[in-house]
Amino acid sequence: MPGHLALVTDSTAYLPPEAVERHRIHVVPLSVAVGDEVFAEGIEISPKDVAEALRSKQRVTTSRPSPETFAAAYRAAAESGARGIVSIHLSAELSGTAEAAQLAAAAAPVPVRVVDSRLVGMALGSSVLAAAELADALDAAHADAAGGASDRAEPGGTEADLDQVVEAAVRRAAGTSGFFYVDTLEHLRRGGRIGTAQALVGSALAVKPLLHLAGGRIEPLEKVRTASRAIARLEEIAVERAGTLPVDITVHHLAAEQRAEPLAERLRERVPGLNRLYVSEVGAVIGAHVGPGLLAVVVAPVVDPTG
């Protein structure tokens, strides 16, 4: 539809494919290098490939998209009829992706607002969906006001609409929590992604760490002695965080479907305000930093995007 608001995110949002299609979200891939070969996440390499590479002790690294890649995405959105773009990305504490997006935004053919969600995975994805839902509602309202015409109703409307969409994304991000369990901190340590959680590395063999996203960083939450107790505690934390208000929950995993599916079913039974429940394997980029065995729960509040 000409004159629409476009959403851009990166491949670490791990959005359901149907949501990407429904909201016409442009997804920019990060890169994963296995040895000397470089692959685009979600296109050329799978979570299974990364899990196998890590198990076989191959060197796996990740890198942000280039500003040129974002510039191409913004041009494509403009050429498809976008009058403005909101570009929402994983935490700048974990990646330079948002910085690359900001560099490209300065020369984009339409206004672009870049948002550092300070999140990753479906925690990021939930923020993108909140923004997309409001963008769709604003587009529909303008179309109605113009009698179904595809052009905009008034000058200056794009900037005000972009402000509202950014606010919706930031509001949902602020209320979203991510908690996760890893079999070992070694992969996070190697990638330099554990911040103050490095204090746990010395005792990593003796404990099963629970971590969470705090201030855009990965921080230690609790130490638990066994994997079964850690997963049980992860469940309790998610139930406590969800409370009784409407929430969306995502259970992420890497090569651990046998853990993820039962956890999802227990949460379905225990969370009274559950709106949508997703179970998904994280992609190659996050997989490279957490390793096989990851189990994560994202709890996102359900808010009226127009409120």
Q: What pLDDT is stored for residue 1 in this prediction?
A: 39
Domains, the chain, in order of start with CATH, read 4-30+65-174 (3.40.50.10170), 177-301 (3.30.1180.10)
194 or 27, which is more confident? 27
DSSP 81: T
Residue written as tokens 């113009």? 146
Over range 221-227, report the average pLDDT: 86
CB 16 within 8 A of CB 95: no
Q: What pLDDT is stored for residue 66 in this prediction?
A: 97
Q: What pLDDT is stored for residue 205 in this prediction?
A: 54
Could you give the percent of the chain with pLDDT greater than 90? 74
Helix (H, G, I), strand (E, B) or coil at 269: helix
Could you give the percent of the chain with pLDDT greater than 70? 89
What's the residue count for the chain?
307
Q: Which of 27-36, 142-151, 263-272, 291-300 has the lowest mean pLDDT?
A: 142-151
Q: What pLDDT is stored for residue 185 in this prediction?
A: 75
Over range 294-307, report the average pLDDT: 85
Cα atoms in the Cβ-side hemisphere of radius 13 Å centred on 269: 7
Helix (H, G, I), strand (E, B) or coil at 148: coil
Q: What pLDDT is stored for residue 150 in this prediction?
A: 46
Q: What pLDDT is stored for residue 92 in this prediction?
A: 96
Q: What pLDDT is stored for residue 175 in this prediction?
A: 95
Q: What pLDDT is stored for residue 12 in this prediction?
A: 96
Q: What pLDDT is stored for residue 153 in this prediction?
A: 41
Cα–Cα distance measured from residue 284 to residue 290, given in angstroms and rounded to the nearest whole number = 10
pLDDT band at 220 (very low <50, low <70, confident <90, very high): confident
In sequence order, the β-bridge partners of residue 87 are 8, 114
Report whether pLDDT(129) > 80: yes
Q: What pLDDT is stored for residue 110 in this prediction?
A: 97
Over range 60-84, report the average pLDDT: 96
Report whether pLDDT(304) > 90: no
pLDDT band at 248 (very low <50, low <70, confident <90, very high): very high
pLDDT in tens, 100-114: 999 999 999 999 999
DSSP 12: G
Cα–Cα distance measured from residue 52 to residue 56, given in angstroms and rounded to the nearest whole number = 6
Over range 194-212, report the average pLDDT: 61
Residue among 226, 120, 117 nearest 181 (CA): 226
Q: Where are the beta strands (DSSP E) in the chain?
A: 4-10, 26-28, 31-34, 37-40, 60-63, 82-89, 112-116, 177-181, 208-214, 217-224, 247-253, 274-281, 295-301
Give 131-143 as a 3 state SS string: HHHHHHHHHHHHH
CB 295 within 8 A of CB 256: yes
152 or 222, which is more confident? 222
Over range 63-89, report the average pLDDT: 97
pTM recorded for the entire structure: 0.90
Both structure tokens of 145: 């006001």
Report whether pLDDT(210) > 50: yes
294 alpha-carbon distance from chain centroid: 16
Cα–Cα distance measured from residue 40 to residue 152, given in angstroms and rounded to the nearest whole number = 36
Q: Is the dihedral of CA 168, 107, 33, 7 positive or negative?
A: positive
DSSP 179: E
Over range 260-270, report the average pLDDT: 97
27 or 190, which is more confident? 27
pLDDT band at 44 (very low <50, low <70, confident <90, very high): very high
pLDDT in tens, 143-202: 887 775 544 444 348 999 999 999 999 999 999 999 999 887 766 766 555 554 454 554
pLDDT, averaged across the chain: 89
